[in-house]
Structure 1
Amino acid sequence: MEDGLISVDRWANGSEAYFLTHLHSDHTQGLSSSWSHGPLFCSSITAKLLPIKYPTFDLSLLRILQIGISHTLSLRSPSSDDFTTVHVTAIDACHCPGSILLLFSGDFGCVLYTGDFRWEPDCEKARVAKDMLSDCINAHGGDGVDVVYLDNTYANPTYDFPTRTVATQQAIDIISTHPDHDVIIGINTLGKEDLLVQISSALNILIWVWPERLQTMHLLGLPDIFTTDTTLTRVRAVPMYSFSIDTLEALNRIRPTTRPTIGILPSGLPWEKKSLKKGEFLSGSFLTSRYKRTRRSANSTLVKIDKQIGKAGSPKKFDQYIFSVPYSDHSNFAELEGFIKFVKPTRLKGIVSSSSCYIEPMYYFGRLCTGNQPVQQLHTRSKMIESGDFEDDNVELDRNRSKESFTMNESGKTVVTISSETSFEADSVVLDRNKSGKRVVAVSPKTSVRGDDDIELGRNRSKALKVKLSGFRMRGLSIFRRKRRGAKLSDYVEEC
């Protein structure tokens, strides 16, 4: 699909048509009440909610996409100035109210943009959506999907959290086993309504929400179980920005015996980890600005925290007042894998790229695609691979014994062997020595890493391989461990 024809969740000027998958803020950056770049296509629910977020938005720009119905658009080609036909179908993404997948087809082929989505095996709405997608793909010619733009938020096998049904029951159990406690639940301005409805139904209680959230609940036509009167219930759903350990501690200092308070965080990934100096880490969560410094050891706290990251099969008590429940509106790894097996796209691209834990989906799912793409290749941004060199005392070079040259592989690429299991492949390689006498291997653009094992630099693993790419440096051993997990190299660089 040519640039400038359509934009999905992108709001800069220059496209013929714009599409909004849902109203979460990370998909509406650049959209505003004064935005007027062109027609905006979205679901009917999103169109109903949009004026709450943007009160003075020009509603004449909105175009409603009916779920499961193919819509035909005639758009002017930016390159030829001729009109081209684009077919688009919206399908329920089961992420939040109004969220949709978008299936495009035309002269460019067939493109599926998932937006944020979660299709669970036990979800009836997801089963209906899956059948609908299958019918739509067949109706668009039956040649399959050329490109899938995938919600790769949890595209890593460590993320094996349970279904929302299971997580909902965990939240219900926490509340029911704390009958003398007030309970606050952290939610966003849109999403997790089903969780609140199920809690209310199971425990026969009202749920407090703030006034703007109550307006959203009414527009969505949800049951009359929500209130803004704090005296009518002990369970409150509060904005995420007001949900923290500090808040819970303050509430319990005010009334420690009359009515203690606990918090429930419904999230797939509450913890983050930051590197410090060698061997040390800061471990904590976005719940608080306080972190715990740890040093890696066989039985250290860090090891225990690592076990909590990703594998969120049961509730965890991160603080004396806060429980984390593995309730996520994004697909886990197994669900993503099943989705790719079902769609069988030719190519695959991730839509989440700004996160520090970005996962390149081709790393794990490339083998499931029908196109000829590398399955395990370190993903780098193009601007970061203009040139580079690798420097270490222990680099071993594959050479032809009769010449001072590097080994060429079957594809004509030059191979530099770092160990028996791992090598680098490049268009051109130059052997040199730096001022300190260390051997330097300079590689050209489009360098990729082959091999699944950690790189071993000779026998001395304490000598980290230094990699320099366009003004950045990083530690080789750390990078290639992350490479095995599918992480983007550019997210772990350190500016010189």
Structure 2
Amino acid sequence: MERGLIAVDRWNEESQAYFLTHLHADHTRGLSSDWSRGVLFCSPISAALFPSRFPGFDLSLLQVLEIGRPRSLKLASRSDGQDLSVRVTAIDSCHCPGSVMFLFQGDLGCVLYSGDFRWEPTNEQAWRAKKTLLRVLGGDAVDLLHLDNTFCNPAFDFPPRDVAARQVIDIVNRHPDHEIVIGVDTLGKEDLLVQISQAFNTKVWVWPERLETMHLLGLNGMFTTQTAQTRIRAIPRYSFSAATLVALDSLHPTLGVMPSGLPWSPRPHDYYAAPHRLIHTVHFSAHSCFREIADFVRLLRPAKLAGTVPSSSCYLNPWHFFSHLCQPHSESTSPKHPSKKRKSTVRPRISESRD
């Protein structure tokens, strides 16, 4: 896709339209309260959370994309000035509140930005999102898939989030006399905290800014900032440390729980370090595991794919694993031939069974 037309989660470059997949900090670098480069498209939930994240932001710049409803864009080629017609559709990515994929169709071909996503086979929300994506595609094949390759390695295989949530609840249940400290981000894993609150019929402590987010999401009555009301606390991930837990444990028996796709380590990026005696790691991940990434690529069979996470020892180029699932890119799929749409030769089906 020609640069300068569409920017997804890129805020420091010139573009004719900007798109926000979700409000996690690693996707908003360069975005600030005084940012004013152009129109910013996002989901309804992200728009509702936006003022609390960026106070003073010019909200007239926000354009809300309803989930599953295509929106037409008028762009102009920077190379020759030719008018370009593009449709964009936001698809639920099931990563955190407000997170979406963006599907672009039209004169630029068919391009899907997955953003961060987790589509578990047994998840009702993911099932609906998959059904919406296939409906909007309407038989068009994906020319280019920008893929969340966070856990694109066969070593990463973890359970669905509802299973991991039950594991956390079991840990809490087995330690009735302990204070429980759970490390979470400023957005995400609300479903886990709600399940814990419901399982023990108790409120969960959160810090004041997190409580505001909970209220904006309509989660009222299950969270508190009063430590005396509960033994279960959700603290910012950046505050979650062995030193913090040891200090708390010296006052009252305390146990830490880190819900993450990666094992918690006392030394950053050293995932082979011995676990701490006060910390339980539970594989509760908001990113798809390797098997789910493979299922996603197999569903779409794009002509090309590219990872959104740079390659490293953990994050591998998805082409290495999934090139055999991609369809050859024919001449007619080039943006030089926008009138010719490449139809998928694979007919994905959504089973009515979600077991």
Fold in common (TM above 0.5) = yes
Q: Whole-Å Cα distance in 2 between the matches of residues 235 and 16 of structure 1?
A: 46
For 2:80, the aligned partner's letter is S
Match of 1:346 among 303, 306, 314: 303
Does residue 321 (structure 1) correspond to residue 274 (structure 2)? The answer is: no
Stretches of structure 1 that go unaligned for 5 or more consecutive residues are: 272-284, 292-304, 309-316, 374-496
Corresponding residue number in structure 2 for 1:243: 240
Corresponding residue number in structure 2 for 1:208: 205
* CA deviation after TM superposition for structure 1 residue 362, in Å: 0.4
SS at structure 2 position matched to 1:18: strand
Corresponding residue number in structure 2 for 1:225: 222
SS at structure 1 position matched to 2:135: helix
Corresponding residue number in structure 1 for 2:259: 266
Match of 1:175 among 153, 172, 175: 172
Q: Whole-Å Cα distance in 2 between the matches of residues 336 and 214 of structure 1?
A: 33
Q: Which has the higher strand share?
A: 1
Alpha-carbon distance change, 290 to 63 in structure 1, aligned in 2, over 3 angstroms: closer
Stretches of structure 2 that go unaligned for 5 or more consecutive residues are: 331-355
Q: Is the contact made by 2:263 and 2:283 (CA closer than 8 Å) also made in structure 1? A: no
Match of 2:317 among 342, 357, 360: 360
Q: Whole-Å Cα distance in 1 between the matches of residues 14 and 80 of structure 2?
A: 15
TM-score by length of structure 1 reads 0.65
* CA deviation after TM superposition for structure 1 residue 354, in Å: 6.6
- Where relative contact order (Cα < 8 A, 6+ residues apart) is larger, the structure is 2
* CA deviation after TM superposition for structure 1 residue 150, in Å: 0.3
Does residue 76 (structure 1) correspond to residue 76 (structure 2)? The answer is: yes
- Can you list the C-alpha shifts for 1:252-292, whole angstroms capped at 9, x where unaligned? 22x1xxx3010000000135xxxxxxxxxxxxx2x34797x
Match of 1:197 among 188, 194, 198: 194
Q: Is the contact made by 2:205 and 2:234 (CA closer than 8 Å) also made in structure 1? A: yes
- Can you list the C-alpha shifts for 1:17-41, whole angstroms capped at 9, x where unaligned? 0000000011111111111000000
Q: Is the contact made by 1:246 and 1:288 (CA closer than 8 Å) also made in structure 2? A: no
Q: Whole-Å Cα distance in 1 between the matches of residues 327 and 148 of structure 2?
A: 19
1:373-392 matched pairs, under 5 angstroms? none
- Can you list the C-alpha shifts for 1:276-322, whole angstroms capped at 9, x where unaligned? xxxxxxxxx2x34797xxxxxxxxxxxxx76x9xxxxxxxx921110
Alpha-carbon distance change, 203 to 125 in structure 1, aligned in 2, over 3 angstroms: same
SS at structure 2 position matched to 1:198: helix
How many residue pairs get aligned? The number is 330
1:79-478 matched pairs, under 5 angstroms? 79-138=79-138, 142-253=139-250, 255=251, 259-270=252-263, 285=265, 287-288=266-267, 318-353=275-310, 357-371=314-328
Q: Whole-Å Cα distance in 2 between the matches of residues 104 and 151 of structure 1?
A: 17
Corresponding residue number in structure 2 for 1:493: none
User: What is the percentage of aligned positions where both structures have the same residue?
Assistant: 56
* CA deviation after TM superposition for structure 1 residue 78, in Å: 1.4
For 2:303, the aligned partner's letter is T
For 1:242, the aligned partner's letter is S
Q: Whole-Å Cα distance in 2 between the matches of residues 150 and 228 of structure 1?
A: 38
Q: Is the contact made by 1:245 and 1:288 (CA closer than 8 Å) also made in structure 2? A: no
1:7-46 matched pairs, under 5 angstroms? 7-46=7-46
SS at structure 1 position matched to 2:142: coil
Alpha-carbon distance change, 290 to 340 in structure 1, aligned in 2, over 3 angstroms: closer
SS at structure 2 position matched to 1:246: helix
* CA deviation after TM superposition for structure 1 residue 13, in Å: 3.3
Q: Is the contact made by 1:167 and 1:326 (CA closer than 8 Å) also made in structure 2? A: yes
Provide the aligned C-alpha RMSD in A. 1.8
Does residue 62 (structure 1) correspond to residue 55 (structure 2)? The answer is: no
Q: Whole-Å Cα distance in 1 between the matches of residues 263 and 53 of structure 2?
A: 26
* CA deviation after TM superposition for structure 1 residue 370, in Å: 0.6
SS at structure 1 position matched to 2:285: coil
SS at structure 2 position matched to 1:132: helix
For 1:371, the aligned partner's letter is P
Q: Whole-Å Cα distance in 2 between the matches of residues 348 and 290 of structure 1?
A: 27
**Structure 1 stretches of at least 4 aligned residues deviating more than 2 Å after TM superposition:** 287-291, 354-358
* CA deviation after TM superposition for structure 1 residue 69, in Å: 0.2
Corresponding residue number in structure 2 for 1:53: 53
Q: Is the contact made by 2:41 and 2:65 (CA closer than 8 Å) also made in structure 1? A: yes
